[in-house]
Amino acid sequence: MEYWNVRFLGKIWAVALFVIAAGPASASNLDALIAAAIENDQWLVQSEAHERAVRAEAIAGGELPDPRLTASLANFPTDTFDFSQEPMTQLIVGISQTFPGGDTRQLRRKRLDQMGDISVIERALRVAQLQRDVTLLWTDAALADETLRMIDEDRVLFEQLEAVIESRYRSAAKGTSQQDLIRAELEITRLDERVLQLKERRQRQFEQLTQWVPEAMVRSVNRFVLPGAKIAAERSMAMHPEVRIHDQRIEIARTGYHLAEESLRPGITVNTSYGHRDEDRNGRDLPDFVSVGVSMDLPFFTAKRQDMQVSAAAERVAAEEAARLLAIRKLRSMQRDAGERVNQLEQQITLYRESLLTQMASLADAAQTAYASDQADFAEVMRARIAHLNARIEAVRLETERQKTLALLQYLDAEVTPTGAPL
């Protein structure tokens, strides 16, 4: 039997199973939520209980079947019901023991132990999934919080613009109309609508987090912030928990194949019995009898049963091997796609940081200055301010998408390896 090493970020769960690769986290609250999700996950508790049950079944499955005790009264006369009437009348007590053919018991135990090993790998996979899912929800909530903060900041500016428009309109300033005032009020109302939508989205993310993390702990987070970048190294998918589960299923299928082959070997049953006889009619003691026998299975007609079982077991091995290849291809495709996505997002983020945000801020300031000099209309000022706000929000959204893609890469970077240490 093998132990398994699993890398994970967060609290060690159960028998020191998990360690998922991760860089230093910038948001300790996120680490605490991930650790709490692992600690409070009932699926992990269920998996451990299932593993213990399978391990116990493995011990039982490797034992010999119970011996069988028989008792019988042979050749008993029914005319007189006298035990001493006939010399062949016997009280027989026997015991028999069956020995399964070949290595059936050892293979049966090995297969159940291998099933127990799958539970260990499945828990590693579950921890990696919890880390990924909690991080994704946290990042979405951080986007909502940051967007709300930026809208709050710009709302003050829009209110100032509204006050200026109202003042110019009341003083009948040149180039100012009631339409400008209505437009200013409309944009503030639209900001309020966006705030409500963001709060609703944030509440949904909050509810989803409470699926894994205690509600009180989620409520204690004052503000969700984007976690620091955690760059995952590109690894071979052969050690990923999803692939290791398939590896273990292949081993189980191979053990099942060998177990099916053992059905071609005959099982043996050994039996012994003791027959007690009474005195004969003349009062002389009659000798008791002892019998010993061996019976054996004769697997002569195997074409439609044993051979078919072996064939079916071989096909199961082939099916599991094909499933493993499909899993590796899927994970590699996800890894390549996520890597390309990170590169594209980083280029877009750089473009926003180095050019677009500065240019849009300058454009908004220039439009406002031109409006103050009666060289531009108010609609142009509002369009420029709204475009600048949207660009800032888009820059945060791109950074959020980058963090979410990195969280996926971290999940793909998880690995579990057998140590080979005997149990």
Q: Is residue 305 part of a domain?
A: no
Boundaries of domain holding 131: 4-63+106-263+314-418
Over residues 101-115, mean pLDDT: 91
Specify the pTM.
Answer: 0.79
What is the full DSSP assignment across 199-218? HHHHHHHHHHHTTTS-HHHH
Q: CATH number for the domain including 378?
A: 1.20.1600.10
Average pLDDT for the chain: 83
Instruction: For residues 346 and 225, state if they share a domain.
Output: yes
In this prediction, residue 25 carries a pLDDT of 35
Instruction: For residues 350 and 398, state if they share a domain.
Output: yes
Q: Is residue 210 part of a domain?
A: yes
Instruction: For residues 273 and 349, state if they share a domain.
Output: no
Q: Is residue 309 part of a domain?
A: no
263 has pLDDT over 90: no
Query: In the structure encoding, which two tokens stand for residue 291, read together?
Result: 């019998």
Q: Is residue 303 part of a domain?
A: no
Instruction: For residues 144 and 237, state if they share a domain.
Output: yes
Q: How many CB atoms lie within 10 A of CB 200?
A: 10
Q: Which of 209-213, 244-248, 406-410 has the lowest mean pLDDT?
A: 209-213
Return all residues near 214 (Cβ < 8 A) that are at least 6 apart. Answer: 36, 40
Over residues 91-97, mean pLDDT: 93
Q: Pseudo-torsion of CA 402, 404, 408, 410, nearest 10°?
A: 80
Instruction: For residues 282 and 190, state if they share a domain.
Output: no
Instruction: For residues 131 and 269, state if they share a domain.
Output: no
Q: Is residue 32 part of a domain?
A: yes
Q: Is residue 238 part of a domain?
A: yes
Domain count, the chain: 2
Instruction: For residues 274 and 289, state if they share a domain.
Output: yes
Phi and psi based region of residue 233 (left: phi greater than 0; alpha: psi -120 to 50; beta: remaining): beta
Over residues 242-250, mean pLDDT: 95
Instruction: For residues 29 and 143, state if they share a domain.
Output: yes
In this prediction, residue 189 carries a pLDDT of 85
Instruction: For residues 339 and 395, state if they share a domain.
Output: yes
Instruction: For residues 214 and 278, state if they share a domain.
Output: no
